[in-house]
């Protein structure tokens, strides 16, 4: 993952340049596609995006392998 984040391709993405990338430190949460997992995923995304808690999301992401989602 460090290679991706350090790559020129990543750094040139519009969402990255505009600061619209949310790093989530709960990769296990985004593994399943069943209804319960989907609901938990939506709740977590909603919490981060609506509360503007990007800083806390970044702190959480440092604890485990993050999942990356760019908002277009």
Q: Report d(CA 28, CA 37) in Å as an integer.
A: 10
pLDDT tens digit string along 59-69?
454 444 445 45
| pLDDT tens by residue, 1-51 | 789 999 999 999 999 999 888 777 767 677 778 898 889 888 888 888 887
How many whole angstroms separate alpha carbon 39 and alpha carbon 25? 17
- Give pairs for 59-63: CB < 8 Å, separation 24+: 59/25, 60/24, 60/25, 60/26, 61/23, 61/24, 61/25, 62/25, 63/25
- The answer on pLDDT for 52 being more than 70 is no
């Amino acid at each position: 993952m460090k290679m991706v984040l350090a790559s020129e391709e990543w750094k040139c993405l519009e969402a990255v340049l505009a600061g619209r990338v949310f790093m989530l430190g709960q990769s296990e949460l985004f593994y399943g596609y069943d209804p319960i997992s989907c609901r938990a995923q939506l709740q977590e995304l909603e919490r981060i995006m609506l509360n503007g808690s990007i800083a806390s999301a970044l702190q959480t992401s440092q604890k485990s392998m993050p999942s990356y989602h760019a908002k277009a």
